[in-house]
Structures are given as C-alpha cells and as structure tokens.
Amino acid sequence: MNRYNKKLFGILIEKIGSDRGVYSAIRRKEKIFLATPPEILFYLVAIDHNIKISKYEKDENILAKVDELSQRESIKQVKPVEERIKDETTKQPETDPFLISLSRFSLFSDLAKECKVRKPYSKEINHAILNLEVFMRKKMGLDDTFYSIKLIDEAKKIGVFLRKVPGESEGLFFLYRAAILWLRNGGAHKKRGSEKEECFKIILFTDYLIKLFDNLYDQNVKAKP
C-alpha cells in the first residue's frame, strides 16, 4: 500500500476498523469504476468516509479525476422520482402468507403452544392431530386405551355427533374418522412429504375440529339431564 498516502490509509483503517476492510472497499469501487487506477479508487473510498483528501494529496490530476468520478457516482445514486417509485413497487419481495404467526388465530391453547409451522412439517401435522386425540379423550373422560378409530367410535356411541338430520350426524362421524385415518395415520405409517402450506392449513383445521368437538360434546352429552 506504499503507493497510497500512508497517513490517509491509517485514518481509513481507524474509520473502517481493519486494513482488510479498506481493501474490500476498494474492490467494491473497482466493480463500479472499471479500469480506474487503484490510487483514485483509494481516494474515492476516503470520500465515502467523509475524509477530506486535499491536505493529504497534492496531485491535482488525481484530485480532478477523483472529483469527476465522485460526482458521477452520486448522480447514478439519485434517480428520478418516477424510477425510484417503480423500483420500490416492482422489487418488493413477496410476503409469505404462511409465515403469519399462528397466535393471530386464537388457537386452542395446547395446540398453539405445541405446534408450529416449521420443518419437518409432517411431524408438526402429526402432532397437531395427536392434540385432537388427547382433547377428545379428556373431554369424554376416557383413558389411554381409547385412541385412533376406537376413540371416534366411542364418541359416536355416546352421541357426540348426534344431529337432527341423520346425514349431518353421519357427516360429522366421517369427518373425524377421516381426520384420524388420513391426517394422523397417513403420516404415521409412511414418510409424508408435507410442505409449509399444508402444515399451516392442517394446524388451523385441527383447531376447528377441536373447538367443534368441544361444542358438540357440551350440546349433545353434557347438556343431557
């Protein structure tokens, strides 16, 4: 670096924090100003750090070139308003709708605490349906011998799915049966290639099933004289 002003180089090291940082800054300038002598790039870096260079370098030719390039760079950075608006509207990254915090949906408390939209997604899906099973078992006061389809059959037996229209009762029974057979067992018996969107939606769907079961039990079983 002896071809550069040593005093100025020392000040830049203090400003940037290391000589490596100074060299990196010069390389960044090289990408902008191709085929420009390193001495000039060095002083452009100094200008970026608000260091006055005139008292360190008396070569008027270098100073004139530095001034020219510095002005050109500043002009490139100040775009017309129309261009800046266009850039901001076209280059905005898309917001991933499945990164929304599940806490915004007032989920069933245990489900909110234990299930997240994170990898491996299949594991989170399986855990969500396990939360449904645990809730149903506790709600009906059953022990751990009741699980999977046996749990759904017991709910039907005591009248949880009872509706005035027989078709609706059947629909509720198969809704919960399908949740266990497909969403629960489908991931337990083989590796499931689940994605973020599926995980997000199934956790919300499980919340719906838990709250629906809670209401059905209170209406059809708990409310019985």
Output the CA angle 215-161-152, nearest 5 degrees: 105
Per-range mean pLDDT, top range of 68-72, 92-96, 102-106, 182-186: 102-106
Quote the pLDDT of residue 215: 96
Please state, in angstroms and rounded to a whole number, the distance separating the CA atoms of residues 195 and 210.
23
- pLDDT at position 2 is 43
What band does 218 get if pLDDT is binned at 50, 70 and 90?
Answer: very high
H/E stretch holding 26: helix 19-32
- Residue 158's closest CA among 85, 221, 68, 225? 221
| Lowest mean pLDDT segment, chosen from 17-26, 141-150, 161-170 | 17-26
Q: Which of 8-12, 122-126, 180-184 has the highest mean pLDDT?
A: 122-126
The stretch 99-121 carries a mean pLDDT of: 86
- The SS3 assignment for 18 reads coil
Helices 166-178 and 148-157: crossing angle in degrees, nearest 10, is 160
